[in-house]
Chains A and B, each alone.
Chain A
Amino acid sequence: MPTWAKTDAVADVLAILPQQLVFGLALGTVYGLVALGYTMVYGILFMINFAHGEIFMIGAYVGWWVLALLLRAQVGGLHPAWVLPLMLLPAMLFAGALGVGLERFAYRPLYLRGATRLGPLISAIGASIFLQNAVMLTQGARMKVYMTSLLFPRSWRIQIAGASISALVIVMVVVAGLMMWGLHLLVQRTTLGRSIRAVAEDREMAAIMGVNVRRVIAVTFFMGSALGGAGGVLVGLYYTQIDFFMGYSAGLKAFTAAVLGGIGNIRGAMLGGLILGLVESLAVTFMNPAYKDVVAFVLLIVVLVVRPTGLLGETVAARAKV
């Protein structure tokens, strides 16, 4: 190490930096995954699905239940290769279905009505509060523990450049990365993806091309929510504890990521997630961890005020007021 770096404080920081970067990377990919849910819905409906954080949270709970059931049934030979998909799939399906239900009953009657933004947003907030409390009442207010170490023994890790990277982190990054890539392919290469982009760009014209706009919106909600649910499972595994309130701050952070990258832009969401994850980890290295969340909020405010279109976004047409 260079002499100037050998002073204690700086040396301390440099020593944990690689580890923090790893944490940042892991978190960042998951933020990106959840952010995709916000960005897809916003891209197609110009509304913020405030309840998306709760969908993420419910995904985490579904994953927990699968694992708990397996443990209760005393199934032996638990290996993430088959347990992880078994956790992810129901979580994603349930989350997706929940998203579709929300769209159908809490949002569609509202956005069909007209230009006001207030209605869908308030309804979404209501849905968020409702879901939080529904989970609290049915699952208990105490946190639940993800028995991650049963799936990913602590010994499964590698050391690179002073950072210890656990197998879990690698799996998180790979899974999230694969999902995001899959979504990207779907949106860019398939007919369905094209119809989604068409609806996002010009809903009326898409209908004139023969696209069933309502169905496309429902599919978009499904996919975005499913990804959010997957993010929930991954976060549960990572932090090993989940509670009914985790969706709130996670949701806001994922939203920050989406906005940072340019809301409505899929690659932007992934980029924004990474940046947020890294910034947050680095900030925690240098300052009081209690203010971790403040970092995200400040970043959100700064982005929205200084560059609302985000890093990769284009200018959005002026939207209607309350």
Chain B
Amino acid sequence: MAEPGFPRWAAAVLGLVVLVAPLVAPNDYWIGVMARICLYATLALGLNIVVGFAGLLDLGYVAFFGIGSYLYTFLASAHFGLHLPFLVTLPIVIVLTACSGILIGAPTLRLAGDYLAIVTLGFGEITYLLLINLDRPVNITGGPSGIVGIDPPAVAGFALSRNTHYYYLFLAALALTLLASARLRHSRIGWAWQAIREDELAARAMGINTTVAKLQAFAIGASFAGIGGSFLASWQRSVFPENFLFTESINILAMVILGGMGNLLGVVAGAALLVSIPEVFRDLQRYRLLAFGLMLMVLMVFRPQGLLSSERRSQEEPEPEAGAEASSA
């Protein structure tokens, strides 16, 4: 699972650091931050599958995050009176969220580039609007005030309560999703995704069923968001539509881009950066989004391959002045 250029010993050290982190953290607040990093890293890895591996620009990923969160809430809170155990809810949410991935992905199959981005954006917005408005005539989502009183994860009678517990849970999930991502990348699906990302027409000509492959990307990516959503709901013990705005989609996308699309550890690092830096500059909170917007622009202009990627600017062949023809010389 070693990334190119990432030596074994460094990985071991990192692994150790990560395991003992809560013991050396200055206070509980920072353990919470670390937990959040793991949570978002899981989400980013999910989006990485859609955007980084398969090359499908999804601007509405937050929809899956929201769907996962609210589904968990329906199954494990006072809202509908269901209190299914964590180990039962989690798999159910993952599967259902994956299905939503297929549902949302299906209409986009024939689209490419910008149009795909906008449609997914539209779906993200529709999801938000549904979450905020579906409290009448029947109260499904709790409307703008959301739902509170969600059960914490509990295994064998032991209910998670402190940030440290959540940290280790999220860390374990992150490790699993990292492993899964790495395996996927070098699997048959992974190659199919890469082919599609490079040139969909050629991929189809090679016999790859692009429809199935794309839907798989959406489904698997969504399932990671289902995990993240469940974690958010059970940690925060509440969910609100405001948790799932468009800016969150862009936030997660930025993590993927920052780390270099497709680069697994880079994506995790991207998540770490984008979660922790605003914490460090807490006082300048009001400038957070301003800086974020600026960062996106600067990143794209100067280093579109991401901060942590070692590859040259991909696909950016220097082109002659007014654009080149592909015709024979």
Q: A122 and B257: CB pair below 8 A?
A: yes
Confirm or deny: B7 has a beta carbon within 8 angstroms of a beta carbon on chain A.
no
Looking at B71-79, B117-125, B219-227, the stretch in contact with chain A turns out to be B117-125
Q: B323 and A204: CB pair below 8 A?
A: yes
Residues of chain A contacted by B123 (CB below 8 angstroms): 297, 301
Q: B107 and A301: CB pair below 8 A?
A: yes
Q: A298 and B126: CB pair below 8 A?
A: yes
Contact A48 to B315, CB < 8 A, known contacts A122-B257, A204-B322, A294-B129:
no
A14–B119 Cα distance when bound, in Å, is 34
Contact A110 to B301, CB < 8 A, known contacts A129-B293, A133-B293, A300-B119:
yes
Contact A130 to B293, CB < 8 A, known contacts A114-B319, A322-B51:
yes
Residues of chain B contacted by A300 (CB below 8 angstroms): 118-119, 122
Q: A117 and B113: CB pair below 8 A?
A: yes
Q: B296 and A122: CB pair below 8 A?
A: yes
A213–B321 Cα distance when bound, in Å, is 10
Q: B114 and A114: CB pair below 8 A?
A: no
Residues of chain B contacted by A125 (CB below 8 angstroms): 59, 250, 293, 296
Q: A319 and B113: CB pair below 8 A?
A: yes
A117–B116 Cα distance when bound, in Å, is 11
Count, A-B residue pairs, CB within 8 A: 152
Confirm or deny: A81 has a beta carbon within 8 angstroms of a beta carbon on chain B.
no
Looking at chain A's contact residues, the main secondary structure is helix
Confirm or deny: A282 has a beta carbon within 8 angstroms of a beta carbon on chain B.
no
Which A residues from 63 to 117 make CB contacts under 8 A with B? Answer: 105-106, 109-110, 112-117
Contact A294 to B126, CB < 8 A, known contacts A213-B322, A305-B111:
yes
Confirm or deny: A56 has a beta carbon within 8 angstroms of a beta carbon on chain B.
no
Contact A121 to B117, CB < 8 A, known contacts A126-B294, A204-B322, A252-B125:
yes
Q: Which B residue sits closest to A54, measured CB to CB?
A: B293
Contact A203 to B113, CB < 8 A, known contacts A106-B301, A126-B297, A130-B293:
no
Q: B293 and A126: CB pair below 8 A?
A: yes
Residues of chain A contacted by B57 (CB below 8 angstroms): 117-118, 121, 322
Q: A133 and B301: CB pair below 8 A?
A: no
Q: Chain A 291-322 against B: per-residue CB contact (8 Å), 1 yes, 0 no?
A: 10110011011001100100000000011111
Confirm or deny: A119 has a beta carbon within 8 angstroms of a beta carbon on chain B.
yes
Q: List 8 A-B contacts (CB under 8 A).
A: A48-B117, A113-B313, A119-B300, A130-B296, A132-B293, A294-B130, A297-B122, A298-B126
Which are the 5 A-B pairs with shortest beta-carbon distances?
A: A126-B296, A130-B293, A129-B293, A133-B290, A126-B297
Interface, chain A (partner B; CB < 8 A):
46-48, 105-106, 109-110, 112-123, 125-134, 137, 203-204, 207, 213, 248, 252, 255, 259, 288, 290-291, 293-294, 297-298, 300-301, 304-305, 308, 318-322
